[in-house]
Amino acid sequence: MELEVSAEAKDKTLNRKIAITVVVLSVFIGLCHIKDENTVQAMERHEAHAIDTWNEYQASKTKQHLAENARVQLTLLAPPEKVAGEIARLDADIVKYRAEAPQLAARAEEDERAYQRLRDRHDQFNAADAGVATAISLAAVAALMETVLLLYAAWGFAAFGVVMGINAFVDGPLHLSILTSLLGA
């Protein structure tokens, strides 16, 4: 009879450890998910801004080209005294477009860099999610098989996931570029 009681007590201890592990990891990954969703929204904003700015850059270069062509045509085909005002206006437009284009390119490139920084952070959250999900799965199997070794393996994956999640929260330097290149697009 005593043997059965001690076996049940051991099961409860293991199950309590597993339950605490699952609750803590679930809360942690929930918080990571919220922050990751905000990161993805910021990525989308920067990507849209970069696309819009590159489009504006292309439009500026096209307008510059059209103004230069119009200036050449006016110079060649019309009497100078009749088109001097129009040529001056085209010259001003050309100067404006030449000055505008590098600024637009710089803004678009900055949005692309911001997008890449956020993408790296998103990859960190994905690694955290994978580590924690694996840990929760291993904890479930540990409960079914009543094996503490599987719980220890779950804690190992949990540690990896928590480290990656905290690193993502603080925008830390830890990146798993090998892993993301293998699993990424």
pTM for this predicted structure: 0.76
* Burial class of residue 102, CB neighbours in 10 A (0-12, 13-18, 19+): exposed
* pLDDT score for 179: 64
Backbone phi and psi for residue 117, each to the nearest 5 degrees, phi listed first? -60, -45
Q: Identify the residue with better confidence: 47 or 172.
A: 47
* pLDDT score for 79: 87
HSE (side-chain half, CA atoms, 13 Å) at 49: 17
- DSSP one-letter code for 173: S
Residue 124 neighbours by CB distance under 10 Å: 27
Q: In the structure, what pLDDT confidence band is assigned to residue 176 with cuts at 50, 70 and 90?
A: confident
Of 49, 151, 61, 156, nearest to 100 (Cα)? Answer: 61
* Residues 45, 39: Cα–Cα separation, whole Å: 10
